[in-house]
């Protein structure tokens, strides 16, 4: 087992547990439409469920399910993007973009490059970038990376070097391309 450095101010025991989590096999979780559509269920519980479904989707991307859910709830429609293989990475990039106030970057590499140039660092950004690394790692296990995916991984590596964040360096090291 590899030991991860915790010298960076943004590397916490939670981050090291997250790396262990990435490497563990995830339990299979199907989308529970009743839970998501129930107005009495708190959004945080819905978000946790969506994340569990997302991990399932990426644990076995060759067996991923395309979920469609008709709803007028804009919060739910927005967050459902995370469980769709083709929308999950753009979802993370959108969350990062809104978090740091860098709007209008159409591609992931452009956003990460803008983050690098602006030297914008915070734990939420790093969390979503590490989620992207996990997703790229799992996608890379079943198919050749697209040029945009390769560029995104390259830019995340540059960002990790610039920030010196050990956790992010280890997360991007999982990406095979």
pLDDT tens for residues 16-58?
676 777 778 888 889 999 999 999 999 999 999 999 999 989 9
- Which of the four pLDDT bands, split at 50, 70 and 90, describes residue 134? very high
* Angle, CA 157 vertex, CA 100 and CA 10 arms, to 5°: 55
Contact (Cβ atoms closer than 8 angstroms) between residue 109 and residue 155:
yes
Contact (Cβ atoms closer than 8 angstroms) between residue 140 and residue 177:
yes
| Mean pLDDT within 95-111 | 77
- Which of the four pLDDT bands, split at 50, 70 and 90, describes residue 152? very high
Note the pTM of the prediction, 2 decimals. Answer: 0.83
Q: Rounded to a whole number, what is the distance in angstroms from the first to the last CA of the chain?
A: 22
| φ, ψ for residue 48, nearest 5 deg | -60, -45
Tell me how far apart the alpha carbons of residues 101 and 10 are, in angstroms, rounded to a whole number: 20
């Amino acid at each position: 087992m590899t030991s991860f450095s915790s010298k960076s101010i943004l590397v916490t025991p939670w981050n090291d547990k997250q790396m262990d989590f990435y490497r563990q096999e995830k339990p299979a979780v199907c989308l529970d439409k009743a839970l998501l559509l129930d107005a009495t269920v708190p959004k945080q519980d819905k978000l946790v469920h969506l994340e569990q479904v997302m991990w399932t989707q990426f644990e076995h991307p060759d067996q991923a399910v395309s979920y469609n859910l008709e709803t007028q709830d804009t919060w739910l429609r927005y967050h459902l993007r995370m469980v769709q293989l083709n929308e999950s990475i753009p979802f993370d990039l959108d969350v990062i973009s809104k978090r740091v106030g860098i709007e209008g970057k159409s591609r992931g590499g452009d956003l990460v490059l803008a983050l690098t140039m602006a030297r914008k660092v915070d734990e939420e950004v790093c969390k979503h970038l590490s989620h992207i690394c996990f997703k790229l790692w799992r996608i890379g296990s079943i198919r050749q990376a697209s040029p945009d995916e390769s560029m995104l991984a390259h830019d995340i590596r540059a960002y990790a070097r610039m920030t010196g964040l050990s956790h992010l360096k280890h997360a991007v090291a999982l990406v095979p391309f």
